[in-house]
Amino acid sequence: MSDFFESLDFGMVTSVVYKIISLFMPVALFLSGTSAAELDYSDKLGDSGYTGLYEVYEDYFPIGSAVSSGLLKDSQCSEFVLKNFSSMTFEYELKQPIICPTEGGWNFKGADAVADFAREHGLKLRGHTLLWGEESPQNWMVYDENKNLVDKETFYARLYDYFSVIIPRYDDVVDDWDIINEACHWDYSSRLHKDALYKICGEEYIYKAFEFAKEFVGENDKLILNETKVLNNKAKENNLYATIKAMIEKGTPIDGVGIQCHVDTLSFKETARRLDSIIKRFSKLGIEIQITELDMTAYSYDAQKAYDELPVWVEQLQILKYKRFFEVLRSHSDVVTSVTFWGIDDEHSYLAKKDGREDWGLLFDKHGNPKQSFYAACDF
Ligand code: GLA
């Protein structure tokens, strides 16, 4: 049953197709006795004495979540983080527009608070993210005072100085660094986005950024190239693969790939089978695989009408997808070295604020209670 759903590939599936599936889904699940039973964890709901997520996964990989200093100030949230996660990532306070909006204008407050929490409680921390061309096109690093792109030497000097401050400040507590975020292009017209960084340096900025970072990180730290929508988009997967291969061939110090995994529950492209083949493919390059931003939106695209409540058939698909994803991740625990969710629960998730509608993308509900998807992910 699940194989049937996972093997479908409609490409850009329309809402009409979803409508049909929504009618078909309960019947299909009902008819496939094993799957229906397999997806029913309702008897477990409401158990406040459940084992925390990271403990369940102790023998496999650390489990993390994206957090902000504001979230950690809330004692309920910080206790929840300590119960369920052994690792954290900076939700936004390490990003250049926040931590250093102008040249030399450092604003360490938020990132320091997150790092201090990790130090105090012995949690692992991901350094997300040092460079992100697409999202920071207007930043001081790439423009001069007349808003013209700077030359390559000026950009590299600024980048090097930036790394020389930010990396040593958090290196005692950060083990994995997302050196660059979302560099690869969506189609085959170019391997990398033609953003400001590319316009100044061509592909070379990728190699340089990793080389510069290597000078400042600790000996055992991992340098990661983090990418979005890899499961969804074959061109992106191939561009990412080719980029990493070129880096390795040039001797660039890259240790791993970050597969973000902001996944659509309803996507027939973003399947456990795809995840499995991507992990196999990339790990053959001799690098670590890190799942860096996992969540599963209940919607298929931004403009989709908001649900009043989560439809049962979507919930069932999410339970199924989380179950299969975690089966795949466990089966590759020799190369998957961390799994991080983007948010802690359905209340504290970027999906909850997106497009002004409610969403249900994580393993815990709005009150921090484990959902059926949680029990599915922990069922082994
Ligand atoms: C991207 C980024 C993250 C965060 C998420 C959700 O995937 O890598 O830093 O912004 O989107 O907004």
With beta carbons less than 8 A apart as the criterion, state whether 89 and 128 touch.
yes
Q: What CATH number corresponds to the domain at position 169?
A: 3.20.20.80
With beta carbons less than 8 A apart as the criterion, state whether 277 and 238 touch.
no
Tokens in use for 317?
């698909």
Calpha distance 371→207 (Å, rounded):
42
**Nearest-CA residue for atom 6 of ligand 1:** 350
Q: How far is the CA of 119 from the centre of ligand 1 (A)?
A: 24
- With respect to residue 6, please indicate whether it lies within any of the assigned structural domains: no
Ligand 1: does its nearest atom lie under 6 Å from the Cβ of 295? no
CA of residue 30 relative to chain centroid, distance: 33
- With respect to residue 28, please indicate whether it lies within any of the assigned structural domains: no
- With respect to residue 134, please indicate whether it lies within any of the assigned structural domains: yes
Q: What is the DSSP string of 280-301?
A: HHHHTTT-EEEEEEEEEES-SS
CA distances from 212 to 88, 200, 247 (A): 24, 17, 14
Ligand 1 atom closest to Cα of residue 262: 7
Q: Identify the burial level of 219 via C-beta atoms within 10 angstroms of its C-beta, where 0-12 means exposed, 13-18 middle and 19 or more buried.
A: exposed
Nearest of 336, 330, 220 to residue 288 by alpha carbon = 336
- With respect to residue 136, please indicate whether it lies within any of the assigned structural domains: yes
Number of domains the chain contains: 1
The one-digit pLDDT tens for each residue of the chain (380 residues) are 445 554 444 434 445 655 666 666 655 555 444 467 788 999 999 998 999 999 999 999 999 999 999 999 999 999 999 999 999 999 999 999 999 999 999 999 999 999 999 999 999 999 999 999 877 666 899 999 999 999 999 999 999 999 999 999 999 999 999 999 999 999 999 999 999 999 999 999 999 999 999 999 999 999 999 999 999 999 999 999 999 999 999 999 999 999 999 999 999 899 999 999 999 999 999 999 999 999 999 998 777 788 999 999 999 999 999 999 999 999 999 999 999 999 999 999 999 978 889 999 999 999 999 999 999 999 99
For residue 299, the enclosing domain spans 61-377
Q: Is the dihedral of CA 217, 92, 377, 123 positive or negative?
A: positive
Ligand 1 atom closest to Cα of residue 226: 8
Indicate the SS3 state at residue 175. Answer: strand
- With respect to residue 45, please indicate whether it lies within any of the assigned structural domains: no
Ligand 1: does its nearest atom lie under 6 Å from the Cβ of 89? no
- With respect to residue 15, please indicate whether it lies within any of the assigned structural domains: no
- With respect to residue 100, please indicate whether it lies within any of the assigned structural domains: yes
pTM: 0.93
Q: How far is the CA of 341 from the centre of ligand 1 (A)?
A: 11
* DSSP H stretches of helix in the chain: 2-7, 15-31, 33-38, 53-56, 69-73, 75-84, 96-99, 109-121, 152-170, 196-201, 204-216, 234-250, 272-283, 312-331, 350-353, 372-377
Residue listed under structure tokens 């660039």: 252
- With respect to residue 160, please indicate whether it lies within any of the assigned structural domains: yes
